[in-house]
Structure 1
Amino acid sequence: MDRVTKLASQNAAVIFSKSSCCMCHAVKRLLYDLGASPAIHELDEDSKGREMECALVRLGCSPSVPAVFIGGKFVGSADVVMTLHLRGSLVPMLKQARAIWL
């Protein structure tokens, strides 16, 4: 858990992902298209990936990836991020965390 929280707090926007996950790709693409440059941690390419995935599940991320953190705070998985975007809440959240400057 400590590794996840440390990595999540090191950048304004952080995504824990798996390289083969289509929803992870969609969330990454969305944040890139909004002008953010999130730190990406591919769990399937990290030697501690399985441990981090278990920590994400304990945080309440279901499914475990993508897990999005903005401003060091856990936001949620793809469904939450997409809902925030559709409601117009994602961009202000990214601005407040200084992940984007629009």
Structure 2
Amino acid sequence: MHYQTASWESYMGPRSRGNVVVDDPLQRIERLASDNAVVIFSISTCCMCHAIKRLFCGMGVNPTVHELDQDPRGKELERALIMLLGSTSVVPVVFIGGKLVGTMDRVMASHINGTLVPLLKEAGALWL
């Protein structure tokens, strides 16, 4: 697993040019999600987050994990994920190939019905 540490940019508040916010949380999520084949937004003390990380590692996938509770702007990202998902139960949130897969229930349903492995292969996260 690759744990993404907060970059210098994430310590800065949202930048603005005039009245336009340059790096809003949804844009940041989109950018982070597209940086790697598998990206998990997580909270370090969440047991469901731990389970999803173990699932991917057990499959031979090396996900990039963004721990929201260790990011100075993690609360902003968490609120943006709530808006994106339309749910109050947010973590873990998984992106594969830059596309939103969803939370634990969606990932597990994909795993059970056999569509998860093809997604991982298509994203280049799994070779076999």
TM-score of the superposed pair, with normalisation by structure 1: 0.97
Q: Match of 2:108, SS?
A: helix
Task: Say which structure, 1 or 2, has more relative contact order (CA 8 Å, 6+ apart).
Answer: 1
Q: Match of 1:16, SS?
A: strand
The more displaced of 23-32 and 56-65 is: 56-65
The more displaced of 45-54 and 60-69 is: 60-69
Root-mean-square deviation (CA), in Å? 0.9
Number of residue pairs aligned between Structure 1 and Structure 2: 102
Q: Does residue 1:90 correspond to 2:116, yes or no?
A: yes
Q: Does residue 1:99 correspond to 2:99, yes or no?
A: no
Q: Which residue of 2 aligns with 1:81?
A: 107
Is there any run of 5+ residues in structure 2 with no aligned partner, and where? 1-25
**Identity, % of aligned positions:** 57
Q: Which amino acid aligns with 1:2?
A: Q
Q: Which has the larger radius of gyration?
A: 2
CA separation in 1, counterparts of 2:85 and 2:43? 17
CA separation in 2, counterparts of 1:89 and 1:35? 16
Give the Å deviation of 1:2.
1.0
Q: Which residue of 1 aligns with 2:61?
A: 36
Alignment deviations for residues 27-81 of structure 1 (CA, whole Å, 9 cap, x no partner): 0000111111010000000001000001111111631110000000000000110
Equivalent residue for 1:57, pick from 73, 82, 95: 82
CA separation in 1, counterparts of 2:106 and 2:57? 17
CA separation in 2, counterparts of 1:17 and 1:37? 15
CA separation in 1, counterparts of 2:84 and 2:57? 25
Q: Are the structure 2 counterparts of residues 18 and 29 from structure 1 closer, same or farther at C-alpha, using a change threshold of 3 Å?
A: same
Is there any run of 5+ residues in structure 1 with no aligned partner, and where? none
